[in-house]
Amino acid sequence: MPSLVRLYIKTSFVYFIAGFLLLALMALDGWLHIGRWFGVAYISQLHLLVVGWITQLAIGVAYWMFPRFLKTHNPRPRGSDTLAWAVYLCLNAGLVLRLAAEPFHLMTGQSWLAALVALSGVLQAAAAVGFGLLIWARIRPLE
């Protein structure tokens, strides 16, 4: 398993734990009223699980297991390493930025926080497009 794949999968596991930890804290907040932040974090929490955990795991495993290029055709059997790193960075920067900005934006309605939330969406969409470009040519018969 290449090092970047290990990083994708380990990061997805971190989101898996973080998503359910946040869910537990939100449930506790409903009972003990820990803080207002937990009351508005539900959309971010959902995206931690759907994007950070399941989608990132799927991307990492696809990058690892999909048919590789022959070394005679392409010196990089899994495609561009730079693009694979860019996808990883955009996806995770987008997710973390969203988690950091969205609940506070929902609480305060400040415009600069809304701009950060919009930026997080652009980063995640860029990661999706980057992954499509990275993996498309590897969706092919085994040789």
Q: How far is the CB of 69 from other proteins (least distance, A)?
A: 13
Alpha-carbon distance of 138 to 142, in angstroms, equals 9
DSSP state of 72: T
Helix-then-strand count for the chain, H and E:
6, 0
Binder among 66, 69, 80, 89 for other proteins (CB under 8 A) = 66
**Helix, strand, or coil (residue 111):** helix
Q: CB–CB of 102/43 below 8 Å?
A: yes
122 binds other proteins (CB under 8 A): yes
Q: How far is the CB of 113 from other proteins (least distance, A)?
A: 9
114 binds other proteins (CB under 8 A): yes
Point out which residues bind other proteins (CB under 8 A). Answer: 50, 54-55, 58, 62, 66-67, 98, 105, 111, 114-115, 117-118, 120-122, 124-125, 127-129, 131-132, 135-136, 139-142
